């Protein structure tokens, strides 16, 4: 999307690759909305760390980062011995896979890259194929988000008030975003609507990233405290909810997304408000049989006990908020059951969550 920094507007992708430097280029999301900076990782270990430390975050963005990271690691190998190369690629794969556990996109992305690489007969061929496959994954991510926008925009009417949780915008993908795609497409069609962004503690992706994105695009929005949505729904101030997903189970239609999503889905059901989840196809896990099996990331307690912000003098600082001596439990994600979800907005159309399995062919997963 276009970003205006100090009066200059440029188009950026959240994740890109510098072939000459063999470096993954990432927007440093921890600095937003106060500073806009693009960093380059020097090797696959730095790329994995950028995922763990949330320099880059969001299902599609970490999927593309893992795909490029795999290509980066493969391209760094020196020599012609295919067996040694395969052992090296295995290490790169597992390092990137374990960077964050809940989102399935990194695994799906790297499996795609590896499948393409396997058709190469030499180390050199496989290295070239790895980069081509990573580029293809990133381009598909953008195409899928565009398609999600086309289908999802039909659900938004002028005058609507839409709630979203966390950031499933272009910063969480390579471009455009999943939950935001219908909003950007509806805006392009001239519709006027208002978005409530859950602040999304503890990392505040809604207050920092989604709000920044919507402001950049000139979409009317307000940040609300995480616990305000019930009140707004009860008073008729929310017409629909659109969120993203880090892993959607193709067999059951359950959706793992940022902690607090489940609560919003329960509230939406109680108030008869449609609750949509927007996903590219790389977010679907076709194998897992139950939402209880989804690995839920537990992050450091410091995220709950305090917050990062910017001082009056422009310095980025962490402040402790909670009682000194108290600890915290910090689960990053929760799982929303299918019956609370009105529809899944996919690149191929809007489906009931339990319809996904029967639509594998239409979605391109069986021949």
- By CB under 6 A, name the binding residues for ligand MRU: 57-60, 166-168, 172, 178, 205, 243-246, 257-258, 332
By the 8 A CB rule, do 109 and 139 touch?
A: no
**Minimum distance of ligand MRU from residue 261's CB (angstroms):** 7
Enter the tokens of residue 208. 């920092």
50 marked among binding-site residues: no
Nearer to ligand MRU, 57 or 75 (CB): 57
313 in a known ligand binding site: no
Q: Which of 105, 239, 246, 285 is catalytic?
A: 246
Element (H, E) at 147: helix 123-153
Closest by Cα among 335, 123, 141 to 249: 335
**Rounded distance between C-alpha atoms, residue 147 and residue 280, angstroms:** 9
258 is in an annotated binding site: yes
Pairing of strands 275-278, 349-351: unpaired
Angle subtended at Cα 112 by Cα 108 and Cα 113, rounded to the nearest 5 degrees: 120
Residue 310: what are its φ and ψ, rounded to 5°?
-120, 135
Residue 246 annotated among the catalytic residues of the structure: yes
Residue placing its CB nearer to ligand MRU in the complex, 129 or 207? 207
**Residue 14, CB half-sphere, CA atoms under 13 Å: how many?**
33
Shortest-Cβ-distance residue relative to ligand MRU: 244
**CB of residue 119 to ligand MRU, shortest distance in Å:** 30
Q: What is the CA radius of gyration of the chain?
A: 20
CA distances from 185 to 58, 169, 172, 217, 220 (A): 20, 13, 17, 11, 14
Is 205 annotated as contributing to ligand binding?
yes
Upper half-sphere CA count for residue 216 (Cβ side, 13 Å)? 28
Shortest Å distance, C-beta 276 to ligand MRU: 12
CA 137 to chain centre: 14
Q: Is 359 annotated as ligand-binding?
A: no
Residues in the chain: 367
Q: Token pair for residue 295?
A: 């690995």
57 is in an annotated binding site: yes
**CA–CA dist 143, 200 (Å, integer):** 27
Q: Which is nearer to ligand MRU, 41 or 257 (CB)?
A: 257
Nearest distance from C-beta of residue 269 to ligand MRU, angstroms: 19
CB-nearer residue toward ligand MRU: 244 or 353: 244
Query: What minimum distance in Å lies between the beta carbon of 100 and ligand MRU?
Result: 7
Distance separating alpha carbons of residues 95 and 90, to the nearest angstrom: 9
> Whose CA is closest to 278, among 191, 161, 170, 366?
170
Question: Measured from the CB atom, is 73 or 332 closer to ligand MRU?
Answer: 332
What kind and span of H or E run contains 255?
strand 255-258
CB of 169 to ligand MRU, least distance (A): 8
Shorter beta-carbon distance to ligand MRU: residue 22 or 336: 336
Known binding-site positions for substrate: 57-59, 100, 205, 257-258
Catalytic site positions: 246
């Amino acid at each position: 999307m276009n970003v205006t920094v100090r009066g200059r507007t440029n188009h950026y992708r959240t994740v890109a690759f510098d072939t000459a430097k063999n470096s993954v280029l990432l927007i440093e999301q921890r600095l937003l909305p106060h500073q806009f900076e693009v960093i380059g990782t020097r090797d696959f270990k730095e790329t994995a760390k950028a995922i763990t430390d949330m320099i880059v975050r969001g299902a599609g963005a970490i999927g593309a980062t893992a795909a490029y990271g795999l290509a980066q690691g493969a391209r760094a190998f020196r020599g012609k011995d295919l067996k040694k190369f395969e052992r090296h690629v295995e290490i790169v794969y597992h390092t990137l896979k374990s960077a964050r556990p809940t989102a399935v996109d990194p695994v799906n992305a790297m499996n795609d890259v590896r499948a393409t690489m396997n058709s190469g007969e030499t180390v050199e061929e496989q290295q070239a194929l790895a980069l081509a496959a990573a580029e293809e994954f990133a381009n598909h991510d953008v195409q899928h988000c565009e398609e999600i926008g086309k289908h999802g925009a039909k659900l938004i009417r002028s005058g609507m008030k839409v709630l979203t949780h966390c950031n499933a915008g272009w910063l969480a993908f390579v471009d455009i975003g999943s939950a935001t795609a219908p909003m950007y497409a509806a805006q392009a069609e001239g519709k006027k609507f208002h978005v409530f962004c859950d602040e999304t503690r503890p990392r505040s992706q809604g207050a920092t990233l989604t709000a920044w994105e919507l402001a950049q695009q000139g979409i009317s929005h307000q940040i609300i405290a995480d616990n305000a949505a019930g009140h707004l729904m009860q008073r008729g101030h929310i017409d629909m909810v659109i969120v993203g997903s880090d892993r959607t189970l193709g067999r059951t239609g359950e959706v793992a997304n940022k902690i607090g999503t489940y609560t919003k889905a329960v509230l939406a059901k109680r108030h008869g408000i449609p609750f949509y989840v927007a996903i590219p196809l790389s977010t679907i896990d076709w194998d897992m049989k139950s939402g209880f099996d989804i690995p839920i990331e537990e992050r450091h307690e410091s995220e709950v006990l305090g917050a990062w912000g910017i001082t009056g003098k422009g310095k980025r600082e962490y402040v402790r908020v909670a009682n000194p001596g108290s600890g915290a439990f910090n689960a990053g994600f929760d799982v929303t059951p299918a019956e609370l979800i009105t529809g899944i907005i996919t690149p191929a159309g809007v489906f009931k969550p339990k319809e996904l399995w029967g639509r594998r062919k239409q979605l391109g997963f069986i021949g």
